[in-house]
Structure 1
């Protein structure tokens, strides 16, 4: 049950340093931007539903 609520990967996703050995292409940057937006929208929806049901 503890592993279900482990959000360390989500939290560290926003604060990662760029890997200097990896090439940055437009597709990779776009994918990461869309991922960050979707994570933020999901967390906002969860917070909204928690507040709505309290």
Structure 2
């Protein structure tokens, strides 16, 4: 693993902003599962930002 691939956010952004595949069938359960996955990932990322602002930034500003 090198540092260049460590900050490659292409797959994450591709997960959020991909187009629907017209050849794939979709049902309510699948849509709900993907919505919950996206919501939980977004909440986790927001939590990381909040924790960074609350705990890490004050340590550098002292």
User: Is this a same-fold pair by TM over 0.5?
Assistant: yes
Alignment of 1:19 onto 2:21: yes
Tell me what 2:53 maps to.
51
Larger-gyration structure (1/2):
2
How many residues are paired up? 54
Shift of residue 8, structure 1, vs aligned partner: 1.5
Q: What's the TM-score once normalised by structure 1's chain length?
A: 0.85
Q: Name stretches of at least 5 consecutive residues in structure 2 with no aligned partner.
A: 58-62
Q: Which has the higher contact order (CA 8 A, sep 6+)?
A: 1
Q: What's the TM-score once normalised by structure 2's chain length?
A: 0.75
Indicate the RMSD between aligned Cα atoms, in angstroms.
1.1
